[in-house]
């Protein structure tokens, strides 16, 4: 068996906690390059995992004809250009979420995917999560009846990541709570409801609690520590409503808000049953049958969704199967997120031309 040789570009948290271990655990893959512009991070990885070559310039990996697949784990602003370069160099690409900073960048990536025919999957890892797939199966199987609305909450009290750094700098990340957390929640909704075309999008995004960097009070910080002389110009609160060909969707999300309650859930409302998924955890199914109201707690075997994602990526390279994480599917949530940001600036709802949407 010839192993698929892989380059991981960007050796930060997501690479080390998810992509690299999953490639190493897959018998058909071989880590060939660890790449990071801060080359010491690449070297640390090579040392730690005892394999591969540390490089600073991803073009070295793209120039190597042995490399078949790349994972892009850089900050968001590099997603589009590296993915495009990689596909044009003949590589298959798994690019972390969000696809890109903007819908325009994502469309460009999609265009090159179509031109080159290489795989371009986005790291919407929840599509490989067991609980999410059980929910999708229930909805597809008609368990919920007509699914008319989904409400989404990704609201934390204090959870701004790396204040002042890449996460909170619009030129790097493209946005804040919506593009970083909302993308996951929205993607679960899209996946479970059959990736419906959006019709209208309205929303408002606020940059409030981190704006005065020194005055931001918190208990702990992921992706920290803070850079108090850095930039904070992204949304820490966002609200929005989306009409689709399927259900309507509303969302309220906060990296930070002055409400000391963490509410991370998705509520799927069907006329026969409903589901409340606690993000990253379990879910409950509510129905009414035979005159009784039922609250059901499902149990199932879980598998590691990152491993599933990588395994599926490696497999689809060989089989040509189009995964649910393909750019053609994920492009829709890029469009919606862009719509919310645009609507927020205009102070008005955006209606998509349905004809164009279906092209």
85 makes contact with a copy of itself (CB under 8 A): no
Give the one residue of 241, 315, 324, 352 binding a copy of itself; rule: CB under 8 A: 241
Q: How far apart are CA 325 and CA 103, in angstroms?
A: 16
Distances (CA, A) of 216 to 156, 167, 175, 264: 14, 15, 18, 22
Q: Which range touches a copy of itself (CB under 8 A), out of 23-31, 93-101, 175-183, 259-267?
A: 259-267
Give the one residue of 104, 228, 348, 357 binding a copy of itself; rule: CB under 8 A: 348
213 makes contact with a copy of itself (CB under 8 A): no
Query: Token pair for residue 94?
Result: 């798994």
Give the one residue of 25, 63, 171, 351 binding a copy of itself; rule: CB under 8 A: 351
151 makes contact with a copy of itself (CB under 8 A): yes
- Tell me which H or E stretch contains 103: helix 103-116
324 makes contact with a copy of itself (CB under 8 A): no
104 or 294: CB nearest a copy of itself: 294
Query: Token pair for residue 251?
Result: 């969302």
Give the one residue of 89, 285, 323, 337 binding a copy of itself; rule: CB under 8 A: 285
234 makes contact with a copy of itself (CB under 8 A): no
Distances (CA, A) of 22 to 4, 45, 171, 177, 224: 13, 14, 30, 27, 25
Query: Would you report the helix, strand and coil content of the chain in percent, each value rounded to 5?
Result: 40, 25, 35
82 or 238: CB nearest a copy of itself: 238
222 makes contact with a copy of itself (CB under 8 A): no
248 makes contact with a copy of itself (CB under 8 A): yes
Give the one residue of 97, 127, 158, 326 binding a copy of itself; rule: CB under 8 A: 158
**Cβ neighbours of residue 8 closer than 8 Å, sequence gap 6 or more:** 15, 19, 20, 23, 31, 33, 34, 35, 45, 70, 71, 73
CB 243 within 8 A of CB 202: no
Q: Which range touches a copy of itself (CB under 8 A), out of 71-79, 135-143, 224-232, 304-312?
A: 135-143
Least distance between a copy of itself and beta carbon 3 (Å):
24
CB 66 within 8 A of CB 14: no
What is the footprint of a copy of itself within residues 11-50 (CB under 8 A)? none
**Cβ neighbours of residue 50 closer than 8 Å, sequence gap 6 or more:** none
CB 189 within 8 A of CB 266: yes
Give the one residue of 13, 197, 272, 278 binding a copy of itself; rule: CB under 8 A: 272
308 makes contact with a copy of itself (CB under 8 A): no
Give the one residue of 65, 141, 229, 358 binding a copy of itself; rule: CB under 8 A: 141
Q: What is the dihedral of CA 325, 327, 333, 339, to 10 degrees?
A: 170
């Amino acid at each position: 068996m010839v192993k698929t040789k892989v380059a991981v570009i960007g050796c930060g948290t997501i690479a080390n906690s998810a992509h690299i271990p999953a490639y190493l655990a897959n018998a058909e893959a071989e880590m060939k390059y660890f790449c990071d512009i801060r080359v010491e991070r690449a070297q640390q990885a090579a040392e730690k995992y005892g394999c591969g070559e540390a490089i600073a310039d991803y073009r070295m990996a793209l120039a190597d004809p042995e490399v078949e697949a790349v994972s892009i784990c850089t900050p968001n602003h590099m997603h589009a250009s590296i993915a495009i370069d990689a596909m044009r160099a003949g590589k298959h690409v798994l690019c972390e979420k969000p696809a890109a900073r903007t819908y325009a960048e994502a469309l460009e990536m999609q265009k090159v995917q179509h031109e080159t025919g290489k795989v371009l999957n986005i790291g919407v890892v929840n599509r490989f999560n067991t609980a999410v797939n059980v929910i999708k199966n229930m909805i597809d199987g008609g368990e919920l009846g007509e699914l008319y609305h989904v409400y989404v909450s990704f609201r934390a009290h204090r959870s701004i990541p790396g204040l002042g750094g890449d996460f909170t700098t619009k030129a790097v990340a493209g946005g804040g709570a919506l593009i970083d957390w909302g993308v996951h929640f929205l993607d679960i909704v899209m996946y479970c409801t059959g990736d419906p075309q959006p019709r209208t999008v309205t929303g408002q995004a606020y940059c409030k609690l981190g704006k005065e960097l020194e005055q931001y009070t918190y208990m702990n910080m992921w992706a920290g520590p803070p850079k108090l002389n850095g930039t904070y110009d992204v949304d820490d609160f966002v609200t929005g409503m989306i009409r689709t060909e399927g259900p309507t969707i509303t969302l309220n999300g906060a990296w930070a808000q002055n409400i000391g309650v963490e509410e991370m859930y998705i509520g799927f409302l069907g006329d026969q049953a409903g589901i409340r998924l606690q993000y990253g955890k379990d879910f409950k199914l509510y129905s009414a049958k035979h005159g009784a109201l039922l609250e059901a707690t499902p149990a199932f075997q879980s598998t590691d969704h990152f491993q599933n994602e990588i395994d599926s990526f490696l497999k689809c390279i060989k089989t040509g199967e189009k995964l649910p994480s393909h750019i053609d599917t994920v492009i829709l949530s890029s469009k919606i997120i862009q719509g919310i940001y645009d609507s927020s600036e205009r102070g008005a709802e955006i209606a998509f031309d349905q004809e164009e949407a279906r092209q």
